[in-house]
Structure 1
Amino acid sequence: MCGIAGIRRFTRPEIDSRVLAGMVATLNHRGPDDSGFWQEGGIGLGHTRLSIIDLAGSRQPMVSADGRWALVFNGEIFNYRELRAQLSYPFTSDGDTEVILAGIVTHGLSFIESLLGQFALALVDRDTGSVHLVRDRLGVLPLFYSNAAGELVFGSEVKTVLAGLPRRPEVDLSSLDAYLLGRSVPAPNTLFDGISKLPPGHRAEVTNDGRVLLTRYWEPPEADPAGAWTPERAIDAVDDAVTAAVGSALVADVPVGAYLSGGVDSSLIVAKIAAVQPEHRVTTFAAGFGDPRNDELTWARRVSEHVGTDHHEVHVDAADFEHLWPKLTWHRDAPMSEPADIAVYRLAEAARQKVTVVLSGEGGDELFAGYPKYRAAKAVAAISMLPGGLRSSVAGALDRHLPHRLGRARIALRVLGERDQADQLRTWFAPFTSSEREALLAGVDSRPPVRDPRNPDVIRGMLLGDLRSWLPDNLLERGDRMSMAASLELRPPLLDHRLVDLAFRLPSDLKVREGRTKWILKEVARRYLPAEVVDRRKVGFRVPLDAWFRGDLRDSMWDRLTGAGSFVGETFDRKAVRELLQRHESGTFNEENRIWTLMSLEVWHERFFSTRSIDPAIHR
């Protein structure tokens, strides 16, 4: 994995090399092994490298043999050897970077669609002066840009773009509603006014006169016709596709390990690695929180013993949160969307002591319907036939009285209270309902949230919604930033686009079957793992914040959300915030998700707007 940066000036030809160097400096954690620069007139590119393939070669930025194209590239192309064998080109290196250039020289920009892997790249066409920005199909790797005041500034992280701008932008208040809905802001927007995020599966051509032409080059396929798949044939196909995806993700010239939570997805990946590479003992990593309600270390150990891995564990506590929250917010460039972000960093930090690349299980739930909401989808859709006003008033009356032990029922109730299917789909993961957001944001002019189109297959509609936003804007951003903060490359093989294509071709009744979520992937896992691992209740990577916000993090919570100078206190309804904290302190109700959402926003504002410098040394 690497970091990329660049500037394209349309009205002023010169670029200050010190500005470009400052942008690259913000990416040292993404590429501690090497860095490079390329400048020509009003265009400059920068790169930092974490060496994974062709360790001694493939320096970037790289210019094509014909001199037309200049490239900076972040990621890994898993099929680069096969692609290289099909290209007639005067190669001077043995890596995947030059294969991208060779393919574009030979076939044009459409060659991007041949790439298998995870990538974000920028190409300069020296003949036309255009810059092409490209992001991988699922959004595993990030790419941000600003196009204003006669210049394009882009980079792997928001802080990289900030370092290239003449002045720091303001908070984009119009994105606050989206943030309160999903704890992240969907592409193309960010919480920074004027800074955009390239959506997954898109490429953008920024022309010589500064116009941005956005093109979608990939989207999931339609479902195959009814009756096209038998359960047995589908299980075999998914099994083969997972094997191929894991095999591809193991391409590297450095040690590769895997995260192992003890859940189905990570356990299946670890078992597949052992099957694909029987000559190597898999190195695995797990995190625990010292809370018996949620700790899954016992299950991770069970899988490790079954597969036979070299297993390592890390323990996370409240002190880690207080210490790491500001630092990791700087790495995230955004509010920490999930409490598990901090645990993922500690896990990455431990893994980096042993390996340079880890495989993880992101994507299994979003492809094969693994969350409890998918099981409840059809029932909620049926009840939603009742008048919206009636549902909303009943749900609102009951919501504030359901105790912590009925947490899942409370989520379903909040979903039922929303006005239509589009709002319901987003509310399953939403900290705040639409009415709560309206109350908090009184007086703030917010942009309406993205509304996914209605789908007659409610489960497929949920899956598409999660694939478009929840996965890339929340889970994958977490994985990328927290792993790269430790200079560790993260690869989610379940998001191999060949497996994603297959998953969306399969009918929903093979994903949720007889009330069982993620049915087909569990049937694959059953071939390699003990039944007790496959059939146990889903817990997830959960942090005991409910107790911490009543204990070790209580003072920080009150000070940050209600104290003088609080961004949250000045922007949102202060009375509503205080009532939220008091409800949680009562012990009868658990408001940790909503408190976490507001706390993360406050810490983010402190990091990026309460100091004058974004120098990484200040935030580490």
Structure 2
Amino acid sequence: MNPERYLLVIGANRSPALLSRAAAQLTGCGLQRRDFGQDVTLFAAPGLAVVEHPSLAVIGQMSDANLAQLAHCETPVELVADSWGNYIALGLGTDGTPRWVMRAPLGHLPAYRTSANGTEIIGSHPDLTLAVTDEKPTLAWEFVGRHLAFQHLQTSETGLAGIEELLGGESLEQGSNGDWHRRQVWSPWTWTAQSREIGDPLRARQNLRASVERAVAGLIPRDVLCLLELSGGVDSSILAAALAGHKAKARAVTLVTDEREGDERIYARAASIATGLPLDEVAVTGAVNLARPASMRSARPGLPMTLSLADDLLAEKARAETIGAFVSGAGGDCVFCSPASAAPAADVLRRFGVGRAAWAAVDALARIHHASVWDVAKMAWRQARERTAQSQWPRTTGFLAHDALPTTAPVHPWLEEPADVLPGKRSHVRAILAALAHVEGYGRHAVAPSRFPLLSQPVVETALRIPSWLWIENGRDRAVARTAYSGFLPASVLDRRTKGGLDSYAIAMLAHNRSALQPLLLEGHVSRSGLLDRRRLEAALARQPRRGDADTYLLFPLIDTEAWASAWLGEP
């Protein structure tokens, strides 16, 4: 059983039948009951930490917490200033009544919320909330349209009617009238302010390495056997070095596909030798069944189906070796500010004007992107002059029917930008936001949770304080991170400019499943909902999948969405 399953019932005494049903169903599947203050009941897996203070209860993993300060903590703002981690916190009044609930900033312990008869229900998994409310799952097809149109944007909205998510850094607070309302407690924009900037390159490197070490030490107890997913890229190799420095009980695994771009063993071995982490090399062989339902019922489409075989292999390995946690470098590119445009040079132009620093940034970006200096300079000039806040998330038409195409993106608090935000910092924050949309819904989490140190509060806060132009110094992307670990990792890893990938593997799997996908996607749940442009979808499915064909890549999120729907509704 997943060791991080919980359900919190606030206002339990208002719904005796609901509480009775919860006690019967959840204790029967191994969750333990615990009552807090007045009218609050928690059901939690035995391995999930629960700490109670007179005015505060903490569910999950909290780091850097001062117990004396926690005992007197009264507001969410106080809590996020003094601690971090993967936790849900419950604030209690002096009479023991619940006052607020908060999810840790950048915390990866989910918090799905629903209400029933004046009772607030918050749980780690949507199946738990549905079980105690005795509701049948109903898919929210409007959400599905927005999910396909605004990719990589995960908001409080879920694909299940009546269930929403409390985002990291948000609190639910009870007003004097008894109603609950959301409040943003933590914002990335606090850390992009010029007053917090770490402009000195040496200090930036030192602070970044210290934040990674702090994150690894806080998330990975030394007595827990963990498995690092090591590709040999910069991000996962940095975690290998940090785990070794922490003296964690860790080993590493690298997955190998038949395609050349999916074989990074030479780099993974170099990182393993340098850090001393034992490395297992696991071949991903055989064909993936892209037409099957997803392996778990999640609140939204999660696991890319092309990775389902790899996910199964990791789950099997974790069971066989009693792994307590997976460790992933997911999001590293985004947190370490790998540039996708000329925005860092635009930042220099905004801050310092035209001069030597601006030309150095342009030249660095041209080398990173193998582009013309003049093309980069023109793009940077345009971005520097653009002063209008770009709050809209990019929209993808994909295979959506014209009348099903949403016009506006769902709301996310991070998209409310300061008026003076620099283009590079806007890109940096949005890249981190996009990375957070791809860390849930993996079947292996039923065996052990994943830890994402590079997407933790200490690392993200530090990274956002570093100016975008320092990240591209000397024509290297993620330059601060690379230089911070010079001497800890081999040059073959730190100076690596190529990146492994799964494009060839995914396209081969798509071709292998082509005959099964045609009826599934044309007659499946998503198609029957009326969201799709069948003519365009039929044309895409009739062609052989290949690189360079935009429609080939647009098929993948549709496949994942159909698999997610089938997990809830059964095969169409």
Q: TM-score range by the shorter chain?
A: 0.7 to 0.9
> Given the superposition, is the C-alpha separation of residues 470 and 310 from structure 1 closer, same or farther in structure 2, using an over 3 Å criterion?
same
Establish whether residue 20 from structure 1 lines up as the match of residue 22 from structure 2: yes
Query: Matched residue of 2:16: which SS?
Result: coil
| Count of residues in correspondence between the two structures | 527
CA distance in 2, matches of 1:447, 1:534: 41
The correspondence of residues 181-580 of structure 1 with structure 2, limited to 5 A, is 181-183=149-151, 186-206=154-174, 211-220=179-188, 221-224=191-194, 229-277=199-247, 282-317=250-285, 319-322=287-290, 326-330=293-297, 332-336=298-302, 338-339=304-305, 342=308, 343-344=310-311, 346-354=313-321, 355-370=323-338, 373-374=340-341, 426-427=393-394, 433-436=395-398, 440-443=401-404, 448-450=409-411, 453=417, 457-467=422-432, 469-472=433-436, 474-478=437-441, 481-486=442-447, 488-540=448-500, 542=502, 544-551=505-512, 553-563=513-523, 567=527, 570-580=530-540
Deviation at 1:24, TM superposition (A): 3.5
Query: Matched residue of 1:326: which SS?
Result: coil
1:102-151 deviations in Å (ceiling 9; x for gaps): x5542323452222322134456593643632211113221110135533
The correspondence of residues 104-123 of structure 1 with structure 2, limited to 5 A, is 104-110=70-76, 111-113=78-80, 114-122=82-90
Give me the CA root mean square deviation. Answer: 4.0
> Given the superposition, is the C-alpha separation of residues 131 and 611 from structure 1 closer, same or farther in structure 2, using an over 3 Å criterion?
farther
Deviation at 1:197, TM superposition (A): 0.8
> Given the superposition, is the C-alpha separation of residues 526 and 63 from structure 1 closer, same or farther in structure 2, using an over 3 Å criterion?
closer
CA distance in 2, matches of 1:38, 1:262: 46
Query: Retained in 2: the 8 A contact 1:257–1:357?
Result: yes
Query: Retained in 1: the 8 A contact 2:290–2:305?
Result: no
Deviation at 1:311, TM superposition (A): 1.4
CA distance in 2, matches of 1:584, 1:498: 46
Select which of 59, 65, 70 maps to 1:73. 59
CA distance in 2, matches of 1:140, 1:130: 23
Deviates more, 1:206-215 or 1:257-266: 206-215
CA distance in 2, matches of 1:79, 1:173: 42
Deviation at 1:217, TM superposition (A): 2.0
1:394-445 deviations in Å (ceiling 9; x for gaps): xxxxxxxxxxxxxxxxxx9xx9xxx998779854xxxxx54547x5351466
Mark the runs of 5 or more structure 2 residues left unpaired by the alignment. 350-375, 380-385
CA distance in 2, matches of 1:509, 1:271: 25
Query: Matched residue of 2:9: which SS?
Result: strand
Query: Retained in 2: the 8 A contact 1:205–1:214?
Result: yes
CA distance in 1, matches of 2:510, 2:75: 51
CA distance in 2, matches of 1:270, 1:334: 31
Deviates more, 1:448-457 or 1:588-597: 448-457
Deviates more, 1:298-307 or 1:577-586: 577-586
Q: Give TM-score scaled by structure 1 length.
A: 0.74
Query: Retained in 2: the 8 A contact 1:314–1:347?
Result: no
CA distance in 2, matches of 1:63, 1:227: 36
Deviation at 1:253, TM superposition (A): 3.7
1:56-111 deviations in Å (ceiling 9; x for gaps): xx6x5x665x5x76x4613x12335xx23xx2xxxxxxxxxxxxxxx554232345
Query: Retained in 2: the 8 A contact 1:286–1:297?
Result: yes
Deviation at 1:514, TM superposition (A): 4.6
CA distance in 2, matches of 1:495, 1:341: 21
Query: Retained in 1: the 8 A contact 2:293–2:564?
Result: yes
Q: Give TM-score scaled by structure 2 length.
A: 0.79
CA distance in 2, matches of 1:12, 1:50: 29
1:4 is aligned with what amino acid? Answer: Y
Aligned to 1:5: 7
CA distance in 2, matches of 1:271, 1:246: 10
Deviation at 1:546, TM superposition (A): 0.7
CA distance in 2, matches of 1:227, 1:327: 43
Query: Retained in 2: the 8 A contact 1:341–1:482?
Result: no
Query: Retained in 2: the 8 A contact 1:45–1:72?
Result: no
Query: Matched residue of 1:258: which SS?
Result: strand
The correspondence of residues 92-111 of structure 1 with structure 2, limited to 5 A, is 104-110=70-76, 111=78
CA distance in 2, matches of 1:484, 1:132: 28
Identical-residue share of aligned pairs (%) = 21
1:232-275 deviations in Å (ceiling 9; x for gaps): 33223322332333333333543234221111111111112223
Query: Retained in 1: the 8 A contact 2:326–2:449?
Result: yes
CA distance in 2, matches of 1:258, 1:153: 34
Query: Matched residue of 1:549: which SS?
Result: helix
Establish whether residue 150 from structure 1 lines up as the match of residue 118 from structure 2: yes
Deviation at 1:498, TM superposition (A): 2.6
2:559 is aligned with what amino acid? Answer: M
Query: Retained in 2: the 8 A contact 1:145–1:153?
Result: yes
